[in-house]
Amino acid sequence: MAKNEKKSSKDFDAQRDAQAKEAKKKLKEAEKAGAGAKKEKAEKTDKKKSVKFRRFWKDFRGELKKIVWPDFKTVLKNTGIVLLTTLIIGVPVWILDYALSEGVIGLKGLAQGAKTEAAATAPALDLDGFNLEDYLAGLAEAEPGAEDEHAGHNHD
C-alpha cells in the first residue's frame, strides 16, 4: 500500500506540473492574441480620433457661418453707449473718492494741530542735573511723621 501511495503522489505531482505548464502556455497565447487585439484597438481609436477631429473643425466652420456680424454703424453706436455709461458711473465715483480723501486728510491735520498745540502750552521739563536719589531723599524729609502714623495703627 505504501508503494501505491508513493506512486499516486508522484502521479499527482506530475499531473499538477503538466497542468501548470499548460496554463502557462495558454497564458502566453492569450497575451500574444491580446497584443494583436490591442494593436487593432489602438488603430480603431486613432481612426476615431481622426474622425472626431475632422468633425469638430467642420462643425466649427458651420457655427462661424451662423454668426451675424454687426455693421460699422452699429459698432460705433454700441461703443458710444459703453463710453457714455462709463463716464456717467465713473465721474460720481471719482468725486466721492476725492471728497472722502480730502476729509481724511483734514481730520489728520486737525489731530496733528491738537498735538502741537498741547505740546506748545505744556511747561517744558528741564531734566538736566536731575538726581533721583536726591529727589527721593527730599520726599522722605518732607513727610517725617508719615511712617509713624501708619506704624501706630492696629488694623485688626
Residue 122 resides in a domain: no
**Cα gap 38→49, rounded to integer Å:** 16
Q: Which domain holds residue 76?
A: 70-117
Q: What is the pLDDT of residues 5-57, one digit of tens each?
A: 555 677 777 788 888 888 888 887 777 776 666 667 777 777 788 888 899 99
Could you tell me if 30 and 62 lie in one domain? yes
Q: Is residue 129 part of a domain?
A: no
- Is the Cβ–Cβ distance between 78 and 70 less than 8 Å? yes
Give the contacts of 78 (CB within 8 A, at least 6 positions apart).
70
Distance from C-alpha of 74 to C-alpha of 71, rounded to nearest angstrom: 6
Cell 472722502, located at residue: 100
From 50-54, 87-91, 138-142, the region with the lowest mean pLDDT: 138-142
pTM over 0.75: no
Residues 23, 60: one domain?
Answer: yes
Asked whether residue 23 falls in the same domain as residue 42, the answer is yes
Query: pLDDT (tens digit, 9 = 90+) per residue, 43-72?
Result: 777 778 888 889 999 999 999 999 999 999
